[in-house]
């Protein structure tokens, strides 16, 4: 979502960091461009003005103009100001659910994704916090709204309040409260009705439910694509009902992201979670530090490590590590690596979180590489027999022809995959000898290893940036049109380019 803003800002800062010393005029010119970039990204004017003023005060100080890397210093000041603009009180992911059953009220306009978000949060509370959750739909207006929540409840294994036709929202809220108390639930979530715009009836209905339930949290669900109007909606709901936090949905969309930046500053309400897609686990805690890092192209290593931890199974990884240390890396291992990458959001998803790689992700896209290539490589491996996967060295011409044909690909594509597997095998062997592999695995699974935050802190973004650039120097790397020695991991380059 923040792609355009990110691109504009990185252009401004690239020019700044290339200059040796900065005059006050240089900083002012750069900040003028920053303000235009913010306004184009749909940040509200007062917020953009305040932001630039805050940065200007700090960036034109003596310390910056004399510092060794004034450009970097300005980037850091902008980063800190972004974090400051986005940060609310307390931990965004910690919902107040102290004395059970704790009610959570979900409010918002129609079509903002309230029902889906209710289910996503219920799943998160159940799996991450081990809570017993009851969901209740109070939406008596929208056809099949109650059935939708019931179906989602069945999908994620969370109980929903039985539907009784003809009840009004207040009666449903009372019934949910009683059932939650009698059933021994920790949390009950009330999914209220929405309207296409704010009207007296909608507000009155939500206020009545609030008075009955006395919620511990009132979460406003806002569509991230609605731009500045989202801020007006938040202000209105907060005035009339009282909101304890905001959930922004469709953050994976191509909106301009300004609403997120204005929301906290204008309403004073923290953004607690962001929805990133339709799947039930596509919800993340809104971490200002990480979002600011992504906007400024500094990457988000903590999220990358967390994602890896979520998608890798510990036992499987243990086995893999023992094999890698012995220098064994066959096609089964290769398949697991590729599937892992797809699970983590594909090439672009991973690159976007690595320092200095944001721009590369764009170049990779322009060069015609997309995540279908990873799936094609998995298809080639699936086309092999068990024996061939375990011993790729036995593949000769006739076998190669059969495998390629089975996956609907060319033999040349299979040869690239085999070359990639050999190079990765060599790399694993080297890492296994140096004990680097063991350390990395320890960290991944917390077996006496550090937490994602500590791991990220131990990774020097500059070193990672260098590593990213070095990737191009591995034989078989170069991707046409990327220049500057930047390229993809060996063997991925030129593989199945978009026609």
Average pLDDT over residues 478-496: 39
Q: In the predicted model, is pLDDT for residue 69 greater than 50?
A: yes
pLDDT range class, residue 495, cuts 50, 70, 90: very low
Burial of 92 (0-12, 13-18, 19+ CB in 10 A): buried
Q: What does the pLDDT read at residue 158?
A: 92
pLDDT range class, residue 100, cuts 50, 70, 90: confident
- Looking at per-residue pLDDT, the higher value among 224 and 441 belongs to 224
pLDDT digits (tens, 9 = 90+) for 415-433: 988 888 888 877 777 766 6
Q: What does the pLDDT read at residue 303?
A: 58
pLDDT range class, residue 159, cuts 50, 70, 90: very high
Q: In the predicted model, is pLDDT for residue 45 greater than 90?
A: no
Q: What does the pLDDT read at residue 421?
A: 83
Q: In the predicted model, is pLDDT for residue 279 greater than 50?
A: yes
Highest mean pLDDT: which of 265-274, 292-301, 362-371?
265-274
Q: In the predicted model, is pLDDT for residue 238 greater than 70?
A: yes
Tell me the backbone φ, ψ of residue 119, rounded to 5 degrees. Answer: -65, -40
Q: In the predicted model, is pLDDT for residue 179 greater than 50?
A: yes
- Rounded Cα–Cα distance for residues 114 and 109 (Å): 8
Look at residues 161, 259, 141 and name the one whose alpha carbon lies nearest to residue 202. 141
Q: What are the CA-CA distances from residue 119 to residues 204, 281, 346, 359 (Å)?
A: 24, 10, 25, 35
Which pairing describes strands 271-275 and 283-285: parallel, antiparallel, or unpaired?
antiparallel
Q: In the predicted model, is pLDDT for residue 489 greater than 50?
A: no
- Rounded Cα–Cα distance for residues 388 and 376 (Å): 18
Burial of 299 (0-12, 13-18, 19+ CB in 10 A): buried
Q: What does the pLDDT read at residue 484?
A: 34
Angle, CA of 363, 224 and 10, to the nearest 5°: 35
């Amino acid at each position: 979502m923040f792609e355009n803003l990110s691109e504009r800002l990185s252009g401004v800062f690239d020019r700044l960091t290339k200059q040796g010393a900065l005059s006050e005029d240089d900083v002012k010119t750069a900040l003028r461009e920053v303000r235009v970039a913010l306004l184009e990204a749909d940040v509200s004017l007062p917020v953009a003005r305040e932001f630039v003023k805050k940065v200007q005060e700090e960036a034109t100080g003596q310390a910056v103009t004399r510092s060794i890397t004034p450009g970097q210093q300005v980037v850091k000041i902008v980063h800190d100001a972004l974090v400051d603009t986005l940060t609310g009180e307390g931990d965004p992911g910690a919902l107040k659910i102290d004395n059970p059953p704790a009610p959570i009220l979900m409010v918002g306009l129609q079509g903002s994704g309230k029902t889906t978000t209710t289910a996503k949060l219920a799943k998160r509370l159940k799996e991450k916090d081990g809570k017993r959750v009851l969901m209740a739909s109070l939406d008596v207006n929208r056809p099949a709204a109650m059935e939708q929540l019931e179906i989602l409840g069945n999908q994620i294994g969370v109980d929903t309040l039985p539907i009784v036709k003809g009840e009004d929202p207040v009666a449903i809220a009372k019934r949910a409260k009683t059932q939650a108390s009698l059933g021994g639930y920790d949390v009950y979530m009330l999914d209220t009705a929405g309207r296409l715009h704010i009207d007296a009836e909608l507000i009155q209905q939500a206020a009545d439910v609030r008075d009955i339930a006395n919620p511990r949290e009132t979460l406003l669900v806002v569509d991230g694509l609605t731009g500045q109007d989202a801020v007006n909606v938040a202000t209105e709901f907060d005035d009339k009902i009282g909101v304890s936090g905001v959930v922004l949905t469709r953050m994976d969309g191509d909106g301009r992201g300004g609403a997120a930046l204005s929301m906290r500053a204008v309403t004073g309400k923290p953004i607690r979670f962001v929805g990133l897609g339709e799947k039930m686990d596509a919800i993340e805690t809104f971490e200002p530090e990480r979002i600011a890092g992504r906007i400024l192209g500094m990457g988000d290593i903590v999220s990358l490590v967390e994602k890896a931890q979520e998608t890798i199974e510990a036992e499987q990884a243990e086995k893999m590590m023992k094999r890698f240390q012995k220098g064994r890396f066959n096609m089964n291992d290769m398949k697991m690596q590729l599937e892992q990458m797809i699970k983590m959001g594909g090439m672009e998803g991973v690159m976007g979180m690595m320092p200095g790689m944001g721009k590369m992700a764009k170049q990779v896209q322009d060069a015609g590489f997309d995540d279908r290539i990873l799936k094609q490589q998995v298809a080639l491996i699936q086309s092999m027999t068990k024996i061939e996967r375990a011993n790729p060295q036995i593949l000769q011409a006739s076998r190669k022809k059969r495998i390629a044909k089975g996956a609907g690909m060319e033999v040349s594509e299979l040869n690239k995959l085999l070359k990639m597997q050999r190079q990765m095998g060599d790399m694993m062997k080297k890492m296994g000898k140096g004990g680097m592999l063991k350390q990395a695995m320890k960290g991944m699974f917390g077996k006496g290893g550090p937490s994602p935050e500590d791991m990220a802190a131990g990774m020097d973004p500059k070193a990672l940036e260098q590593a990213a650039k070095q990737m191009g120097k591995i034989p078989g790397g170069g991707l046409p049109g990327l220049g500057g020695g930047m390229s993809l991991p060996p063997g991925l380059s030129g593989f199945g380019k978009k026609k």
